[in-house]
Amino acid sequence: MRQIFPVQGPDLQVVPKATAGPPPPAVQELARLYAADARPRWLQANMVASVDGAASLAGRSGGLSGPGDRMVFTVLRSQADLILVGAGTARTERYRPAQAAELWRQLRPAGAPLPAIAVVTARLNVDPDWQLLTGAPADAQTIVITTTDAPADRKAAIARYGQVIEAGQGHVDMTTAVSALRGLGYNRILCEGGPTLLGQLYAARLVDELCLTTSPLIAAGPADRIVSPAPAGPAPSDSAGTADGVSARLSLTHLLADESFLFCRYLTEK
């Protein structure tokens, strides 16, 4: 892997999986490149897409990935307080609680718990015995974000193992949801999709940064793009998004390349 913008950089050894011991120089350099800006609260999105814009291949984003992408994925997770994901993506990608062996623990503050997972689902169609809920440690309990009018019995069942946040009626209000997560102390939030959730976050102007891997594949077919239109519902008066689409202007901060994969980091202009 090599940085090619804004300046040419040295080759970085790709280390797709975390290992015991101090992070190697390439991992430390990636952590520096993807470090949050000076603001104490930061929402970062990490997505992968084919050259023709598909966010998945054969139904899963993993089909678009490669060793360099997995390295970036691991570094970003290692620096996050919380991982935010839509329920459909969590099921399709077979999410489970973050594992210590899969993170570079030295990139986290001393004594910090593993990043918690927060799942967004308006209809609360979540199995209360899902391993993502039952297997999470007490200090990184899984959070389920839903609506005030979601079924009370489902909320009670989920609350046996995880936390429930109510945000909005009829649809999840992501401004309320993110504010609630901040109130719980989760200041560096990493969104891993899917496209509908990312559309909601962009519509509410909550995304500070987009990390995008472009995979050297043509996917064709009906796959979604990385951002889908936000669902209909009330939006903030200053929102750039509507029920029909989302718009945001981005600024490129760096571009890396590895084996025909491209890795872009964009800041959202607000």
- What are the tens digits of pLDDT across the range 181-204? 999 999 999 999 999 999 999 999
pLDDT for 51 equals 97
82 within domain boundaries:
yes
Lowest mean pLDDT among 33-47, 114-128, 179-193: 33-47
Strand-by-strand arrangement of the 163-166 sheet: 2-5, 250-258, 261-268, 209-215, 42-50, 188-191, 82-86, 116-120, 143-146, 163-166
Q: 0.75 cut: is pTM over it? A: yes
Pick from 22, 115, 20: which is nearest to 76 by CA? 115
The answer, yes or no, to whether the previous bond of 222 is cis (omega within 30 of 0) is no
3-state DSSP helix/strand/coil percent for the chain, to nearest 5?
Answer: 25, 25, 50
Q: Would you place residue 236 in the very low, low, confident or very high pLDDT band (cuts 50, 70, 90)? A: very low
Q: Which helix (H) or strand (E) holds 201?
A: helix 195-203
Task: Please enumerate in sequence order all residues whose Cβ is within 8 A of that of 18, keeping only pairs 6 or more positions apart, or say none.
Answer: 74, 78, 101, 102, 103, 104
Number of C-beta neighbours around residue 3 at 10 A: 19
pLDDT at 156 over 60: yes
19 within domain boundaries:
no
User: Cα(29)–Cα(35) distance, rounded to whole angstroms?
Assistant: 10
18 within domain boundaries:
no
210 within domain boundaries:
yes
**CB 144 within 8 Å of CB 121:** yes
pLDDT for 243 equals 40
User: Cα(226)–Cα(53) distance, rounded to whole angstroms?
Assistant: 7
pLDDT for 46 equals 98
16 within domain boundaries:
no
143 within domain boundaries:
yes
The CATH code of the domain that includes 97 is 3.40.430.10
User: Cα(119)–Cα(165) distance, rounded to whole angstroms?
Assistant: 10
Q: Which domain holds residue 186?
A: 2-6+37-231+246-268
User: Cα(176)–Cα(180) distance, rounded to whole angstroms?
Assistant: 6
Burial zone of 117 (CB within 10 Å; 0-12 exposed, 13-18 middle, 19+ buried) = buried
Q: Which tokens sit at 18?
A: 């975390």
To the nearest whole percent, how much of the chain has pLDDT over 70?
93
- What are the tens digits of pLDDT across the range 4-13? 999 999 999 9
26 within domain boundaries:
no
236 within domain boundaries:
no
**CB 194 within 8 Å of CB 17:** no
Q: Which tokens sit at 44?
A: 């970062």
The answer, yes or no, to whether the previous bond of 194 is cis (omega within 30 of 0) is yes
Q: Total domain count for the chain?
A: 1
